[in-house]
Structure 1
Amino acid sequence: MLISVQALRALAAWVVVGHHFIQVFFNFEVDTPMAYLFADKGAVGVDVFFVISGLVIFLATADKALTPWRFILMRLARITPAYWFYTLLMALLLLAVPSLFAETHLETSHLLLSLLFIPAQNPGGFGVYPLVDVGWTLNFEMLFYLLFAFALLVRRSYRLWVVAALLYLACYLITPALNWADGFYRNDIVFEFLMGIMIGMLYCCGACRTPPWLPVLGIVVASAAIYHGADLPRALEWGVPSAVLVISFVALEPYFHGSRLLKLLGDCSYSVYLLHTMVLCVGRWFAERNGIDPYAMLPVCLVMTAVCAFFSYQWLEKSTYLWLKRWFGMEDPAILSRQKY
């Protein structure tokens, strides 16, 4: 994994945390410039995630002879355990202290659909969201993984076009025709995966080697584009600037390479993303009952999220992934050889 991408992944995760802090504590009703910035633009972290996902999946499979089934198993082993854990934890918290989550309700059928990554109306009535509401992005991720698995049957140079065709068929022809999940997949955000694949192709052919001033300029221009916004579809308004951010960070990889801290922050970003809304809801519940100012509660929530995410990555994500890889018989022979001798 490129350390520069890990750094950007961590940044995107914490931007989303800031966005949801404003939502959970203020319902987006804010009057300070910084709070408004997170309320209005913080969701762009998701777009960065999607571009990074396309990049990472392409690079992870570019030089490997993976079968579609083996690829799907590896993705399930990496994504599912932590998501299932936090989904079940959310269900237990709803049963034990329902007042923690004012708008969320627990229904068995919805819980099962959430665990299976199937989009469904949330019983709280606020849209097509799983029980852990940030998991809506994982529903898109799983669709992308499924379609990319088919692309592994063709040469690397054709995979972008195969995934693009399959995404269009799935999101704009098949699921609308079936009237499934209220048009959930008919969302142009899916094309951000393709932007990530394109960046991966450019990286593999050496096109990301540039003078440092060029990616720095790219970061400035992309940030300005996100800040000022435009009346465009999301994939253009936020997806294209997110892709510029990603390719700019990739081009700056020599300046990030070797940083263990940035790698760790990136490693923990998935757990940060999954658990932060629960931490924020607990923080709001505690603050309301004790008369604590929300901004005084913010650093407590940030520290708790960071600490929990660290242990979640070490004990939940990493350990279960390695165990499942062994169970599925997917160990790297070189790693096994080093372990043996």
Structure 2
Amino acid sequence: MNTVVSNIQILRAVAAQSVATYHLQPMINASFGTDLKLPVGAMGVDIFFVISGFIMFYTNHRSDRTATEFLANRFIRIAPLYWLATGCIAVLFVLGFHPNGLHHLTPEIFIRSLMFIRSDFPDGRTDLVLSLGWTLIYELFFYTLFATTLAVSSTTFRLLIITTLLSVAVTTRFAFTLFSEPPPLLCSTILFEFWFGCALASLYLMWKPMRSRSMLIVATGTLVLGIALSIQGAAFHQERLDEWRVVYFGIPALLIVSAALLYERIGLRGTNRIALLLGAASYSLYLFHPILLQSTVKITARLLPSNSDLSPILAALSASAVAIAASILIYLQIEKRILRAGHNFTKKLNRNRVVTSGIDNTKLHAQISTAASTTISRLTDLELQVTSSGYSLNNTEHSSDTTRT
């Protein structure tokens, strides 16, 4: 089964570029004195979370991978490239730069960041060296919860288990709130966005509508509604994560991903190779765009006239182009190799498990065969004994008859 959903792959590119555009605005403002404030781009993260839930549920619904194999695969998928991006920021800081506003860095903070553990900075924030890594903390937490469902083959039961686990995690948040304690980071309501994706995957696997004008209207209406709500929801966006984000950004993200899946199901899927490549490189773009955008904007700000209205536009376009091109290069030269290594590693784990299972089965078959042979041998001996006793009895009876005669 082909597990690649083309529209979802393209939507990943849109989500990554949305986040990049959101982060690009303050960089342009700082360099050119503009006042760009379009927070809707931040919803790219929420689209990513819904897509992540969908992909995990959809691609593993018939998988026989163990939880260990699954988690190893996901960790290799997430961590090495994140470590590389974090390392690049640390190197730039050591060289005297302040990438993404980083003004303080210690070995302890760096190591904690590599372990996805946030640290307290002098400016009062609790963060990672690569700030956007907070989303990866939620990703890894969701993967851990999802791994517990792999022992169940029924998609319905899997969805029920993940629903229960996410509900318990979020409920814990409100329990802390009742006692006026700060809730744990991993108890945010944003976790339900992963559930949105899981539920969509469950429906997508069961429902295969025919292509018709009515379904096209439904898909288009869902997309338009999702975009409209996301623009409206941007008015409620805050820099800090809040419990209502799942409503003002999560629901629009759900609608947009649903529309993409509806288009896919009725045969309207994206086939443009460049768009699909951008989707494949979306993780590289997501991790490295802060460094790439900031450096390009600073360079173009020195080259372009500061009094021109076109300068901010040209700087933004140049920075976006550089970020996209560099991300594709990182994907092709680095990320794909990491993915290949991760695939080979988990494949080896699976092969070892199969071999071990085969050895155990061979031992079991040998034990059964030995027991069967022993049983047959004993039955044969018993039969011979009975047969021998029968002959002796006949001979005795024959002798008695002769004597009587």
The TM-score with structure 2 as length reference comes to 0.73
Q: How far, CA to CA, are the matches of 2:108 and 2:71 in structure 1?
A: 25
Cα separation, partners in 2 of 1:174 and 1:5, compared to 1, 3 Å: same
| Letter matched to residue 319 of structure 2 | C
Q: Report the Cα offset of residue 207 of structure 1.
A: 5.1
How far residue 104 of structure 1 moved from its aligned partner, in angstroms, is 4.1
Contact preservation (8 Å) 2:128, 2:134: yes
What is residue 329 of structure 2 aligned with on the other side? 311
Name the TM-score, length of structure 1 as normaliser: 0.86
| Offset, 1:318 | 0.8
Partner of 2:139 in structure 1? 141
What is the CA–CA distance in structure 1 between the aligned matches of 2:39 and 2:294, rounded to whole Å?
Answer: 20
Match of 1:233 among 244, 247, 257: 244
Q: 1:224 aligns with which of 228, 242, 248?
A: 228
* Residue 285 in structure 1 maps to residue 298 in structure 2: yes
Is the alpha carbon distance of 1:161 and 1:108 closer, same or farther for their aligned partners in structure 2, counting shifts above 3 Å?
A: farther
- Cα distance in 2 for partners of 1:314, 1:304 equals 15
> Which of 233, 237, 244 matches 2:255?
244
Q: In structure 1, the residue corresponding to 2:119 is in which secondary structure?
A: coil
How far apart, CA to CA, are the structure 1 residues paired with 2:333 and 2:318?
Answer: 22
Matched, 1:261 2:259: no
Match of 1:10 in 2: 13
Runs (5+) with no aligned partner, structure 2:
237-242, 306-310, 352-405
Q: CA deviation at 1:325?
A: 2.2
Count the aligned residue pairs: 327
Give the superposed CA RMSD: 2.8
Query: Does the 8 Å CA contact 1:47/1:239 hold for their aligned counterparts?
Result: yes
Over 3 Å counting, the alpha-carbon distance change for 1:125 and 1:175 in structure 2 is farther
Gaps of 5+ in 1: 334-341
CA distance in 1, matches of 2:273, 2:120: 39
SS at match of 2:123: coil
Amino acid at match of 2:275: L
- C-alpha distance in 2 between matches for 1:3 and 1:122: 41
Task: Show CA shifts across 1:202-230 (max 9, x none).
Answer: 00002565621211111111111111237
Q: 1:195 to 1:58 in 2, by over 3 A?
A: same
1:180-238 deviation digits (Å, cap 9, x = unpaired): 99632232111100000000000000256562121111111111111123769111111
* Cα 1:104/1:162, change in 2 over 3 Å: farther
Equivalent residue letter for 1:294: P
The code of the aligned residue for 1:74 comes to N
Q: Quick one: distance in 1 between partners of 2:27 and 2:96?
A: 17
2:365 counterpart residue number:
none
For 1:75, the equivalent position in structure 2 comes to 74
Shift of 1:26: 2.0
Kept in 1, the 8 Å contact 2:297–2:319? The answer is no
- Distance in 2 (CA, whole Å) between partners of 1:97 and 1:181 is 36
Distance 1:301 1:138 in 2: 24
- In the aligned structure 2, how far is the partner of 1:11 from the partner of 1:101? 22
- Give aligned-pair identity as a percent: 27
SS of equivalent to 1:65: coil
Give the aligned partner of residue 301 of structure 1: 319
Q: Secondary structure at the match of 1:212?
A: helix
1:201 aligns with 2:205: no
* Contact kept? 1:128, 1:181, Cα under 8 Å: no
User: Does the CA contact (< 8 Å) of 1:202 and 1:208 recur in 2?
Assistant: no
Q: CA 1:268/1:107 → structure 2, altered by over 3 Å: closer, same or farther?
A: same
- 1:304, CA displacement in angstroms? 1.1
Is the 1:271–1:313 Cα contact (8 Å) retained in structure 2?
A: yes
1:295–1:138 Cα change, 3 Å: same
Task: Give runs of aligned pairs for residues 50-89 of structure 1, distance below 5 A.
Answer: 50-89=49-88
Residue 329 of structure 1 pairs with residue 327 of structure 2: no
